[in-house]
Structure 1
Amino acid sequence: MSDNFGRYFVNAIVAGLIGRIATVVKDEIEKAKQEISKKLQRIGIGVGLVIGAGIFAFFMVGVFIAAAILGLSEVWPAWLAALTVGGALLLIVLLLAGIGSALIKKNKDLTPHEQIDNIKSTVGMSSSQ
């Protein structure tokens, strides 16, 4: 009889501990969800502000381009000033597009070769197999 009592007692303690641990884990997961939700909301606000800044920057660039044309038109005819600023902008566009295109071509293969080789060497497979 006492042998069964000890077994039931240990089982009850273990079941109670497991239940308590499960409750704590569920509570912590719920708190983590709430924390992530708050952070995502703040990230969304931040993204909106950055987009707003980008819109203002777009118009600001237009104003600076107009100012450059007006400034150059003091020493050159207006058509030549506009053509010069347009040519400078064309050079910038071509330079950025060329660099961007080269980066895309260089990195278009998305296979993580280094990590695959690391995994193979960790597992014991050589890259020659």
Structure 2
Amino acid sequence: MADKGEKTIGELVSELTGEVRVLFRQELDLFTAEMKEKLVALAKDGAAIGVGGVLLYTGFLVLLAAIVLGLATVMPAWGAALVVALGLIAIGAVLVLKGGKDVKEMDAKPEQTVGALKETVQWAKTLKFTSSRRRGFASKSGTRKAI
């Protein structure tokens, strides 16, 4: 029989099962939060790439309009169109390059979750070691040995 203050094996197993469930839920919540954070960053970078692409395309169209105006009539109006086109192209190129660089540098691996899982494995190994020592606690004759 268990002394006062000691838990039975059934109670310990039940408590361990409950703690493992809580730990698993916490690991899943951490993974979910970390992946949401990475998806938000990816969405922002994707938006920058998209806006940059639209500006590059717009700049190209304005550049074509400047070339057409310049060739059709030799007037100063094409100079203004050329300046606008080059400005849009420069801004678009900067946005596309920045967004592409950020996407390449992003680490999609959930670092916090991996670290927490490694800690959990270490914890489980210590439990295994502790439980294997408990088996040897009682001698074959049934008397208890001091630790």
With the length of structure 2 as denominator, give the TM-score of the two structures. 0.40
Which of structures 1 and 2 has the larger relative contact order (alpha carbons within 8 angstroms, sep 6+)? 2
With the length of structure 1 as denominator, give the TM-score of the two structures. 0.45
